[in-house]
Every structure is written in structure tokens, then in C-alpha cells.
Chains A and B, each alone.
Chain A
């Protein structure tokens, strides 16, 4: 297995063009911190880490562009120096997956990696406004740009975000950014079951007080559950909304407050799913469902698989563990998600399980046919990983 490290788009074009001519598959890698899905069968990996560096940052225009292999930490540090941030709060997969290395900004875009603030500020794909990528013909294509309102032509930006390298190698990405919040506070209601907890989150998200995080942490042995809601903004505004929100949720019980650093640490832990990091031998699934369906889905998984659970996104994002035996819970996870109108993804499992169990929910027939045609459009020689193909 060799790793190819293009240092320019031209070099990436040459590598991919030659691979296409030889019909030799390529694995695609950013920082290699989020290995999800079937391990790619390829002699060679094309990695972006030599395509590095911030290429444009205009704080007053709230826009940053960087080559795909730029470490996420470098982008976040540049933003923090101007009191700005990526609004979608990308998850760091390393604690959960036990991986090492540096997450890249291109990996964040390619896997549409978002965190708790998705409920308020959108996913990575909503902040992504421009891309450059090399397609399977070895051609560099651009879509979108550096301005945040742009409806010129087909939106390949959204289409490539989350495509996980199946359609092309991202070489440069441009994100819209937002100011950091001056302060944050988290309201914590203890002791609710999942149904009451998600009902409290729904009530909070239905108020005008701009909840930017809404999670339910079920009881661990020897503890009670915690239902948590984050408010961010200027101090007087947060103080006002904190009072109003606590009053609106009085029926769910008294709310304690977590301030500043404590609040930030809690949301980083939720973002990174640290609750399910141990024990390392368990499979971990990610289910996306209508928020109010979350508790019923969770109950099914607890009953069928003995899953430990974490509810984020107001109940709409469920992280669930399962024993890594047989199908690692795939049938039960898929059935529970489908019954609720959602989908399930196997995020953590060993290579043998990942080789045997489809990580992503397969498309229904008409979409699957379209997906195959579209894959051919971007990658006629079939050299990039067929990530979503269940076959």
C-alpha cells in the first residue's frame, strides 16, 4: 500500500488521470481520523495532507478558504484569533474511534461533519460555499465560490459535501463563518426519562430563545439522566433568555446552570460522543430520525440490543452502541430508523465488521439506479471508492 501526496492540483490531476487510464482504484484520505464504511480495496491511497494552507480569510466578509489537507486545528486557530468560528461545530472522531492524526478541513467537508449546533446553525454542508475538486477524469472542477449567496448553475458544493470522496478528491474548500459567542450557559434538568427529556428539548426549541444545543444524556449506573440546553450570545441577552427558558420549562423540573468553561466542556464531550467511547470493543451507530421519534427508537434499541444511548439534535440524532457480533446490530438499527422515517450509519466497528456490514443505509431502488449513473458521470473509470453502494 503506497500513499501518494500531491502538493498541487496539477499533481493530483496527473495521479488521478493515470489511475483512471489504468483503471487502478485509489483510496482517498484527509487526516485518516474518520475511517467509516467498508475498508477500500486499493493498492494506493491519495492523501491531501501536502495540499495545505489557508488561501483566503476575510473576517469582515465572514469567509475562509483553505486547501483540503489543511489541519482543522489551523483553520480553527485562525478563526479564533479573530473571534470567529465554524458555526457547525465539527465533531472530532478521534476519541470515539481511537484514531490518531490531524483531522483536515477537507475531511470535514467530504464527510459533512457537524456537531450539536447543527440544530441551530446548520450542518457543515450549510456553511460550505465553495469547492474545488479533481474528478475521476483527472480534471479540476470548481463549484460555488467565496460569496455566501450564489445560485449560479448546479450546486455541486452540496452534492460533494458528504459524498466521502466517492465523486472526486476535494482540493480546496471555502466556508462561511460566524462570530464566536461572547458567552454561553447551559440549562440542565436532571432525572427525566427519554420521552420527557425530548419533550423538554422540543419545548425549548419551539421558543424564540435560540437554543444552540439540545441533548439528552440517559442515566448511567449510579447517576441520573441529564437533559441539557445551550444558550449563546451577548451576556445580557443570555441572562434574559436563561430566565425565560427556565420559566417555560418549569413543568419539567428545576434547571441548574452550567456556565462558561464547564458548559464548553460538556458540549465538546457531547459533540465527540465521549459517553460511548468506552468500552472500545462495542460497535457505535449513528441514527438520524425525526426528533420526536428519538425516544421510541431508543427504546427499541435498548430492548433489542441493550444499547447505551446519547440523544443530540433535540432527539433527532441518536448515538447507540451494540455488541460487535453477527451483524453488529445492523438489522435492528436499520429497522428502528426506517420505522421512524430516518436512517442508520455504522460509525465505529473493527475492519472485519466494516468489511461485512454495510455502513450506510442503502438507497431505495430508483435512487440507487440514479446514484450509479451519477457515479459514472463523475468517475467513469470507477477508481474512487463506491462508498454508498451496498453491493
Chain B
């Protein structure tokens, strides 16, 4: 196991497990309460599988009222709660503690209301990201945030982590696309914020709750913005002989006034692995590749792709390949979207998630290569080049003693580097348990104290997801 310390259990809670389970059993139907060890084991980890901990119990409520009753009871009993969506967090956001009850929203997965005239949809928070778009696509609408895990991940998790995706350059991230929420506080109080209007009264509670990683309350319902689907979309794939050229090309595209719907960057190792997996027709002889996608009518797409490829000529492109069909577009995106799976076939890897000022890309890539080489590890880089969100995939061998620790050291050095050049520790995956102890590199003690005091106002006893986000040492509570 690795170096990230565990939070000490609350005294006496594990010992009181039987009475806590009996209390829960009185609040929810039998099928909603999971107590057997082999069934609880399914909830011991998320997509950060290096960390595992079986919880005291798992509750899967079907209504907001059940969530409220469960939280009120656990609050009275002084029992910790770890909220869980689909368990796809790459940062350990859903990792339990041994003295916690996992409250999952997976059974709360109904679409409650579709309102295309007001361009909103109201859903229970356990609905998957893709199901939201699926509920409105036949009406010509979609839900914009599109994290790679969108087939499985829930709106509850998206709200907790303020999830992004490849298309947020144009459409924003979760916080820009949520209009209302029903939230259960740790004492069981249910609060409703916002709705179908474009803003809410008073303080921006919604802005605070989105991205709060289950520290403030559990979201059980949400009202989301839906947007009209574009007439069409097509990418161009461009290869360059250096990170400098590719980065300068991105700056020139943006400087020309074009906001593509996505600009994805892959370096040579990433291209190689993805091409071997997806046979997308990626160029293997380039150092850097951009996938730039634009939207609109056929004529608009032609016009924009023409402007973009003309701009690219100034940066010595080695390859320019404009997609000419739906099939070519799918192949180009298949390579990119399968990057993580493709990487997993050749090695264990850690997916990092820093953000950097885009102009720092060449420097940061050089330093990342040095950091990994110093520990004998390889790295592949995928980058949302329009918004600066960088995903280095650090490859390692989990079976080699110390392999994971070496990869974690690289990861920590890389994220510190992101902060050093003016960026941040996490662009879309969240802090979770993974980056908790790194927060001191981005924030001063004063910054952190402001955040932890705010958490205390919502959750005075720190029962909600307490092993996450804030470094264990030095938590200022009031």
C-alpha cells in the first residue's frame, strides 16, 4: 500500500456496528441495506483501485426522504458517511473508511421531467450522464458535460466533482450547466436551491455545492440545462514535429477568433498506443497531434476547417487529415476516447489530471519526461489543449515492489509542477483521497482554513466524506 495516510476511525463506532445496522434497517427496505461482507466488498474502492476499505454498511436509498432519514440517524449516532455515485472516481472520491456507511444513489435513477421549451431536465441524481442526453436526443437536445466515463458515471458524481469532458471548451463544465438541486445536509435537512430560472436568489449555493466532493451534503435531484444539438460536427487531425509547434498552432487558432468545440492534444507515446489499439489512422512519425473539432452546418464546418488548416500551415504540419465522413470522425475519436483502455493493455498506469496555462505546455512536457525518466518510468500525455487540462499517464508495473510508490512520486512531482507554472492540482477529476495531501502546495494555511471552516458550517462534526480533499493535519474547524 502507498504513502497516503489513513484517517483514524472514530472511537467506538466499529464496535457499535450491530446497533447501527439495526437502526438503518428500521429506515429503509431490506433490499436497500447491504451488510454481508462479500456484498460490501463491491463498494470497497472506485476507479483508484490501489486504495480499498470495506465500509461498515452500504445503503442504497430510493427516495430523498430515505436519504434524509438515514443521514439524520447517522448524524445522531456520530457515524461517518461516504457518498457514492457509480464509483468511477479516479481520485478515490468514493473510497470508504472502515467506520463509515456508504450512501449510494444508484437506485435513484429516474428522469423526472423533460422541458424543452425551458431547455431543462430534472433528474434523480443517480441517473447516468449519458442517460440524460439519451432522454432528450430524440428531441434534438443534449446535456453538455461529457466525461469519458459518461456511460457509467452519475449526475450525483458529476456534481460532486464538477466533471468536465472533451467538449467543455465551448460548453463549459458541470457548474455551468446545473440550474437547481435538492440537497440533503448531514443532519437530514433537505434544501432546495434554484430551479428552471437562470439564477437563484441570495448566495450562490449551487456554485458552492458543485465540485464540493460530498463534503457539504448529498445531492438527490438536479435540474440541468439541455442545449440544442448542433447540425453536425467534424474533426481535423493534425501532426506536428514538436510540442512547441502544436501549442503555437492552438494559440493561433484561438487568436483568430475560432472557438472549436474541442482541441485534443496527444504526444508520441499516446499516439502510438492508441493507434495500435483503435487503428484510427493516426500518424506515427509525429511528436504531437491535435484533434480539432468544429460544429455547424456542412458549409460552416467546411469554412471553419478551411480556416483552421490554413492557420496550421504556419507551424510546419507533417500531417493534416480532415475527416470526410461520419466513419472517419468516429475512428479519430475512438482512438482518443479509448486512450485509457488502450494504455491499460500495455501497463498499469496512473492517470494524472493537472491544469496548466496552455503557453507552458512545451516546458511542462519536458519536465514531466525528466521527472518520469529519473525514476525509470515512461509517460504518455493527453491534453485538453483549449483549456489547459493535462492528463499525463504514468506507466508502471504494479507487481514490481515499490512500483506504485514510484508512480505516485512521479504523479506528485508532476502536479506540483502544474501548480508551480501557474496551474492547479486537478482540472476535472477532483482531489479525493489521491491529492488530499498535495493541497498544501496550491493553498496557504489561510486559504485552507477558509475552506475547512466553511465545511464545518455545513457539517460541524466532519462526518461527511471526512477522509477526502483536506490534508489530515492542520484542519481548522471553527
Cα–Cα distance between A118 and B388 once the two chains are bound (Å): 24
Cα–Cα distance between A9 and B199 once the two chains are bound (Å): 31
Whether the Cβ atoms of B388 and A290 lie closer than 8 Å is: no
Select A154's contact among B120, B161, B455, beta carbons within 8 Å.
B455
Is the CB of A316 closer than 8 A to any CB of chain B? Answer: yes
Whether the Cβ atoms of A370 and B208 lie closer than 8 Å is: no
A325: which B residues are within 8 A, CB to CB? none
A151: which B residues are within 8 A, CB to CB? 161-162, 173, 211, 426-431
Whether the Cβ atoms of B356 and A139 lie closer than 8 Å is: no
B31: which A residues are within 8 A, CB to CB? none
Whether the Cβ atoms of B210 and A123 lie closer than 8 Å is: no
A126: which B residues are within 8 A, CB to CB? 172, 175-176
Cα–Cα distance between A305 and B192 once the two chains are bound (Å): 30
Whether the Cβ atoms of A288 and B211 lie closer than 8 Å is: no
Is the CB of B37 closer than 8 A to any CB of chain A? Answer: no
Is the CB of B21 closer than 8 A to any CB of chain A? Answer: no
Whether the Cβ atoms of B201 and A125 lie closer than 8 Å is: no
Cα–Cα distance between A283 and B196 once the two chains are bound (Å): 26
A162 to chain B: closest residue by CB: B204
Is the CB of B255 closer than 8 A to any CB of chain A? Answer: yes
Is the CB of A377 closer than 8 A to any CB of chain B? Answer: yes
Assuming A60-B251, A237-B303, is B207 touching A161 (CB within 8 A)?
yes
Fill in one digit per residue for B423-446: 1 if any A CB lies within 8 Å of its CB, else 0.
111111111000100010011101
Whether the Cβ atoms of A208 and B447 lie closer than 8 Å is: no
Is the CB of A58 closer than 8 A to any CB of chain B? Answer: yes
Whether the Cβ atoms of B454 and A154 lie closer than 8 Å is: yes
Is the CB of B377 closer than 8 A to any CB of chain A? Answer: no
Q: Which among A167, A290, A292 has the highest number of chain B CB atoms within 10 Å?
A: A290
Is the CB of A119 closer than 8 A to any CB of chain B? Answer: yes
Is the CB of A247 closer than 8 A to any CB of chain B? Answer: no
Assuming A236-B299, A236-B300, is B197 touching A342 (CB within 8 A)?
yes
Is the CB of A142 closer than 8 A to any CB of chain B? Answer: yes
Whether the Cβ atoms of B118 and A147 lie closer than 8 Å is: no
Is the CB of B281 closer than 8 A to any CB of chain A? Answer: no
A256-264, A273-281, A360-368 - interface stretch? A360-368
Minimum Cβ distance to chain A for residue B228 (Å): 5
A19-27, A99-107, A175-183 - interface stretch? A175-183
Whether the Cβ atoms of B259 and A154 lie closer than 8 Å is: no
A182 to chain B: closest residue by CB: B257
Whether the Cβ atoms of A153 and B446 lie closer than 8 Å is: no
Fill in one digit per residue for B342-368: 1 if any A CB lies within 8 Å of its CB, else 0.
000000000000011111000000000
Minimum Cβ distance to chain B for residue A238 (Å): 10
B384 to chain A: closest residue by CB: A149
Number of interface residues of A (CB under 8 A): 83
Cα–Cα distance between A83 and B255 once the two chains are bound (Å): 9
A388: which B residues are within 8 A, CB to CB? 201-203
Within A118-166, the residues touching B (CB, 8 Å) are 118-119, 122-123, 125-126, 135, 139-143, 145-159, 161-163, 166
Assuming A153-B451, A154-B215, A155-B175, is B204 touching A374 (CB within 8 A)?
no
Select B202's contact among A123, A135, A313, A371, beta carbons within 8 Å.
A371
Is the CB of B456 closer than 8 A to any CB of chain A? Answer: yes
Whether the Cβ atoms of B453 and A240 lie closer than 8 Å is: no
Is the CB of B375 closer than 8 A to any CB of chain A? Answer: no
A371: which B residues are within 8 A, CB to CB? 202-203
Whether the Cβ atoms of A360 and B202 lie closer than 8 Å is: yes
Select B196's contact among A208, A341, A361, A363, beta carbons within 8 Å.
A341
> Which secondary structure characterizes the binding site on chain B?
loop
Is the CB of A202 closer than 8 A to any CB of chain B? Answer: yes
Select A290's contact among B197, B355, B384, beta carbons within 8 Å.
B197
Cα–Cα distance between A364 and B202 once the two chains are bound (Å): 10
Fill in one digit per residue for A57-87: 1 if any B CB lies within 8 Å of its CB, else 0.
0111111000000000000000000110000
Minimum Cβ distance to chain A for residue B149 (Å): 15
Assuming A122-B176, A155-B162, A288-B199, is B255 touching A59 (CB within 8 A)?
yes
Fill in one digit per residue for A321-347: 1 if any B CB lies within 8 Å of its CB, else 0.
000000000000000000001110100
Whether the Cβ atoms of A154 and B208 lie closer than 8 Å is: yes
Whether the Cβ atoms of B257 and A153 lie closer than 8 Å is: no
Is the CB of B316 closer than 8 A to any CB of chain A? Answer: no
Is the CB of B328 closer than 8 A to any CB of chain A? Answer: no
Minimum Cβ distance to chain A for residue B420 (Å): 12
Minimum Cβ distance to chain B for residue A66 (Å): 16
Given A205-B119, A371-B202, 9 additional A-B pairs, CB 8 A: A82-B255, A159-B203, A167-B203, A179-B259, A208-B296, A237-B303, A290-B115, A291-B198, A363-B202
Query: Chain B interface (Cβ within 8 Å of chain A)?
Result: 115-120, 140-141, 161-162, 164, 168, 172-173, 175-176, 185, 189-193, 195-208, 210-212, 215, 228-231, 250-252, 254-259, 296-297, 299-300, 303-304, 355-359, 384, 387-389, 422-431, 435, 439, 442-444, 446-448, 450-451, 453-458, 469-470
* 19 pairs, CB–CB < 8 Å, chain A vs chain B: A60-B250, A123-B198, A125-B204, A142-B444, A147-B423, A151-B427, A152-B424, A155-B208, A156-B454, A206-B119, A206-B228, A288-B197, A288-B200, A290-B115, A290-B118, A291-B118, A317-B198, A364-B192, A373-B457
The 10 closest A-B CB pairs, nearest first, are A158-B207, A290-B196, A60-B251, A343-B201, A179-B257, A149-B427, A361-B201, A147-B355, A373-B457, A159-B208
Query: Chain A interface (Cβ within 8 Å of chain B)?
Result: 58-63, 82-83, 112, 118-119, 122-123, 125-126, 135, 139-143, 145-159, 161-163, 166-167, 178-182, 202, 205-208, 234, 236-237, 240, 288-293, 313, 316-317, 341-343, 345, 360-364, 366-367, 370-371, 373-374, 376-378, 388
